Amino acid sequence: MEAPGELLKRAKRRHKRCCISTAVLAAIVVVLIIAIPCAVLLPKQKKPMHPATILLPLYIYPSSGRWEPLSAAVERYGDVNFTVIINPLSGPGNSATPGNEYPSAIRRLNSAPNVQTVGYVRTGYTDRNINDVVDDVATYSGWSKVDSGLSVSGIFFDETPHDFSRRKQQFLITANEAVKNATGLREPKLIIHNPGTIPDARLNDPLTDVTVVFESSFDQYQELEEDLQSLPGDRSSRSIMVHSLPSGKSVDSVLQSMSRTAQYLYLTTADQGYYEHFSDSWDKVVQIMGL
């Protein structure tokens, strides 16, 4: 049996070694905390999107609550701006006002502070008679004379050309002037052109507010993404419309990319009837743009 003094000395040595080990371990922990980047320890901050507006081609007849996904989103996300393209009959139709269930549905949209409605007018890449185009603008303008709640805030000219000619240039100027001179449209009378691709710069009329520089599938968007992002000028004058987004792709990252190029955006997973129903991605798109 060891003497009590030896036992005491041995206990003190064990205690000292334990203290040293604890101190070393604590030092290692401190070093690791300092050495590991904060980005690894803390959740990454979401990069905010550029300010953007949903440009929605609403080519859906407003029966049986079919516009309800839009109305619900408008009410729920008051900070999201919607520019909604109204298209009763590949244009306004021949009546003084849109028929049947359109009036009440349009009034509801126009009553929302975060909604701007515009009327659809087809140009046929300027092959359509310019007088018919001007008449369509006048019909939309006339809606407000019958019912002020139906007044739209501008015109979406579909199928505008991307290639230049003097005749096409004059056609677009005449169409734009018809909008700006229409007394029944709400100010500031937004004019949108949709060539679906980047148009010849000589077709850029000062009266045109927004140009759709891309309208196609997500696969094609990926091919042209860098070219679109390198476009000069103000993104607030551009729109991008993308359909057929694969289900595995991040809606968030694609919207981030689109918003770097354009302010007016449309994105859907639908690969057919893109504008004739609300796809499964609708709620997600609106939610992200409302963050």
Q: Are residues 154 and 34 in the same domain?
A: no
- Let me know the angle formed at the C-alpha of 78 by 117 and 291, rounded to the nearest 5 degrees: 115
Looking at the predicted structure, is the pLDDT value of residue 104 above 70? Answer: yes
What residues make up the domain containing 20?
4-41
Q: Are residues 28 and 78 in the same domain?
A: no
Q: Are residues 59 and 167 in the same domain?
A: yes
35, part of any domain: yes
Looking at the predicted structure, is the pLDDT value of residue 8 above 80? Answer: no
Contact between 50 and 235 (Cβ < 8 Å): yes
What would the pLDDT profile of 163-216 be if each residue is shown by its tens digit? 999 999 999 999 999 999 999 999 999 999 999 999 999 999 999 999 999 999
What would the pLDDT profile of 235-266 be if each residue is shown by its tens digit? 999 999 999 999 999 999 999 999 999 999 99
48, part of any domain: no
Q: Are residues 24 and 114 in the same domain?
A: no
Which of 40-54, 101-115, 138-152, 261-275 comes out lowest in average pLDDT?
A: 40-54
CATH of residue 100: 3.20.20.70
pLDDT at 49: 80
pLDDT at 47: 58
Q: Are residues 21 and 131 in the same domain?
A: no
Token pair of 58 as six digits: 């609403």
46, part of any domain: no
241, part of any domain: yes
What would the pLDDT profile of 31-78 be if each residue is shown by its tens digit? 344 444 444 444 444 556 889 999 999 999 999 899 999 999 999 999
Q: What is the pTM of this model?
A: 0.85
121, part of any domain: yes
Cα(78)–Cα(156) distance, integer angstroms: 23
Cα(193)–Cα(182) distance, integer angstroms: 17
Q: Are residues 122 and 33 in the same domain?
A: no
Q: Are residues 8 and 72 in the same domain?
A: no
Cα(107)–Cα(278) distance, integer angstroms: 20
pLDDT at 45: 47
Helix (H) or strand (E) holding 286: helix 282-289
Q: Are residues 197 and 282 in the same domain?
A: yes
Contact between 83 and 264 (Cβ < 8 Å): yes
- Let me know the angle formed at the C-alpha of 210 by 205 and 215, rounded to the nearest 5 degrees: 115
Q: Are residues 28 and 160 in the same domain?
A: no
Q: Are residues 88 and 134 in the same domain?
A: yes
Closest CA to 82 of 219, 214, 243, 190: 190
The total number of structural domains in the chain stands at 2
Q: Are residues 244 and 125 in the same domain?
A: yes
